[in-house]
């Protein structure tokens, strides 16, 4: 009987770039990539008072939907309730809260109601989320869609991102599993699929038709992937769109549902911008699916839909509190149990984030003490977003070689930029994509941080960049216009 000595590692660090998880290295997330990191360096320079080193006096973080970083104020009702949840001892001094700090009686009542259920926001909740919150979410969905919703079908999550991760982990069985993803798309989807070593099956949106879905394009993408051995299991829809700023029509939504029913696909409906609608109206996939099931129950009875929402967007903007939910419709009970097991491994979503989800779906109602202030704040945020969206769009319309669809939803614009050949050659010489080169030059000249379209996906030979319209005021828009004019002149 022989024995061998245990393998000894050579001296030095255990991990290096060549032996870590290759799927992590393959994942890309341009929203917080090189350009965003450089913008943080510029922000640090300005914070140290070294303004003479830069050609601008402020950095505009137009690269990410992070409203409260860009001076969007929290909704008072939400934060007042949250303060009582974090420090319940304050409830022993209701007279001070009401008479000195202007807390309304419904703020105090909401905090007491939530605490009666969760007991403490410092304690774990049920893995699926606190019952009181899931009940409020179900009522919200019923009121929104006119169809029943069951709290047992609601899973609370750490933002919509946590829900996406959960669902894709369960859907993707192995490296042959594929998911149809819109291009351009929010890179959470491609990054998560990379981490799972699963297949992204891209389908292009139609920019000229307001970034609408194209069923011929979706069919072609599905057929090509299937022919190559990919087991296409799901389709992602982002409505309103990120990064496109579009809102799908009822015809678009119905078309996707019919396609999913025909091909046997799970639908992942990312609906986190559902209150950010400037033209038309938001139609949830749940509502349209229920309509179709009434019209043709046999055809649509097996459709599986997971729809996601979040406190990070809309008029709430509580990104840092990490709250969200997803609703499961039509899923097999045994699969739901596996989803429950998966979320249980992570114990529970942040409980204070769950509480803010409850307030988002159940805000002060007309006639309640906090309603007027809530309405004023909500409308004010919405109008500010709309004003800045229009200002940006008007500026882009005047810029040479720039074409931009009208902003109909979410909090982004995604203009096409036609770059001069010399700029494209310069980008290649620096080892960059042309739109990355453009966005980096914009940051260096203006302090405005955007994301190149290549970070979201785009048709070959096309170039875009994504900008939010969250930053306060509209003066910074002029910086982009001036930069673009100089850039085009430099590379003619």
Which residues, listed in sequence order, are joined to residue 402 by a DSSP beta bridge? 417
Convert 43-70 to b/e letters by CB count within 10 Å (16 or more is b).
eeebeeeeeeeeebebbbbbbbbbbbeb
Per-residue pLDDT at 61: 85
On whether the pTM is more than 0.85, the answer is: yes
Instruction: Report the alpha-carbon distance of residue 292 to residue 156 in Å, rounded.
Output: 27
Q: How many CB atoms lie within 10 A of CB 318?
A: 26
Per-residue pLDDT at 53: 85
What pLDDT, in 10s, does the model give residues 352-382? 999 999 999 999 999 999 999 999 999 998 8
Instruction: Report the alpha-carbon distance of residue 113 to residue 132 in Å, rounded.
Output: 9
What pLDDT, in 10s, does the model give residues 132-158? 999 999 999 999 999 999 999 999 999
Per-residue pLDDT at 311: 93
Instruction: Report the alpha-carbon distance of residue 378 to residue 373 in Å, rounded.
Output: 8
Pseudo-torsion of CA 129, 131, 134, 139, nearest 10°? 180
Per-residue pLDDT at 76: 95
First to last CA, the chain: 78
Residue by residue, pLDDT tens for the chain (492 residues) are 555 656 676 777 777 778 777 777 777 766 667 888 889 899 899 988 887 889 888 888 888 777 766 678 889 999 999 999 999 999 999 999 999 999 999 999 999 999 999 899 998 898 899 999 999 999 999 999 999 999 999 999 998 889 999 999 999 999 999 999 999 988 889 889 988 999 999 999 988 888 889 999 999 999 999 999 999 999 999 999 888 888 899 999 999 999 999 999 999 999 999 998 988 889 999 999 999 999 999 999 999 999 999 998 888 888 888 999 999 999 999 999 999 999 998 889 999 999 999 999 999 999 999 999 999 999 998 888 888 888 888 888 888 999 998 888 888 888 999 999 999 999 999 998 999 999 999 999 999 999 998 888 888 889 998 888 877 777 788 888 999 999 999 988
**Residue-range domains of the chain with CATH:** 31-71+376-491 (3.90.1150.10), 76-112 (no CATH), 124-361 (3.40.640.10)
């Amino acid at each position: 009987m022989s024995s061998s000595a245990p393998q000894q590692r050579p001296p030095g660090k255990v991990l290096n770039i060549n032996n870590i998880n290759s799927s992590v290295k393959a994942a890309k997330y341009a929203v917080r990539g090189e350009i965003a990191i450089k913008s943080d360096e510029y922000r640090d320079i300005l914070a140290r008072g070294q303004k003479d080193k830069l050609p601008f006096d402020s950095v505009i973080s137009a690269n990410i939907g992070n409203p409260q970083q860009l001076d969007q104020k929290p909704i008072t009702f939400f934060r007042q309730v949250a303060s009582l949840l974090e420090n319940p001892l304050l409830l022993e001094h209701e007279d001070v809260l009401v008479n000195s700090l202007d807390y309304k009686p419904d703020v105090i009542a909401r905090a007491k109601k939530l605490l009666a259920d969760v007991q403490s926001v410092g304690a774990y909740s049920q893995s699926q989320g606190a019952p009181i919150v899931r009940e409020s979410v179900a009522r919200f969905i019923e009121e929104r869609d006119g169809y029943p919703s069951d709290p047992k079908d609601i899973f609370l999550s750490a933002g919509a991102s946590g829900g996406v991760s959960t669902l894709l982990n369960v859907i993707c069985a192995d490296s042959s599993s594929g998911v149809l993803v819109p291009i351009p798309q929010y890179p959470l989807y491609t990054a998560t699929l990379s981490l799972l070593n699963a297949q992204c099956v891209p389908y292009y949106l139609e920019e000229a038709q307001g970034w609408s879905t194209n069923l011929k394009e979706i069919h072609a993408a599905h057929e090509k992937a299937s022919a190559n051995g990919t087991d296409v299991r799901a389709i992602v829809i982002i409505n309103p769109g990120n990064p496109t700023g579009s809102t799908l029509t009822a015809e678009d939504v119905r078309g996707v549902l019919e396609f999913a029913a025909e091909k046997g696909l799970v639908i992942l409906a990312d609906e986190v911008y559902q209150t950010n609608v400037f033209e038309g109206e938001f139609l949830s996939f749940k509502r349209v699916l229920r309509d179709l099931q009434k019209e043709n129950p046999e055809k649509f009875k097996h459709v599986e839909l997971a729809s996601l929402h979040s406190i990070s967007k809309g008029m709430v903007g509580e990104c840092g509190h990490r709250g969200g939910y997803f609703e499961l419709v039509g899923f097999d009970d045994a699969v739901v149990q596996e989803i429950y097991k998966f979320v249980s491994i992570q114990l529970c979503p942040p409980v204070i984030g769950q509480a803010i989800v409850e307030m988002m779906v159940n805000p002060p109602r007309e006639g309640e003490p906090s309603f007027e202030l809530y309405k004023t704040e909500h409308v004010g945020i919405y109008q500010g977003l709309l004003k800045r969206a229009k200002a940006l769009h008007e500026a882009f319309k005047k810029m040479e070689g720039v074409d931009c669809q009208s902003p109909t939803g979410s909090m982004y614009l995604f203009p096409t930029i036609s770059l001069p050949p010399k700029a494209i050659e310069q980008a290649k010489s620096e080892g960059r994509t042309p739109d990355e080169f453009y966005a980096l030059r914009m940051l260096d000249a203006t302090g405005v941080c955007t994301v190149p379209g290549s970070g979201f996906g785009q048709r070959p030979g096309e170039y875009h960049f994504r900008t939010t319209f969250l930053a306060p005021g509209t003066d910074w828009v002029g910086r982009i216009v001036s930069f673009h004019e100089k850039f085009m002149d430099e590379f003619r």
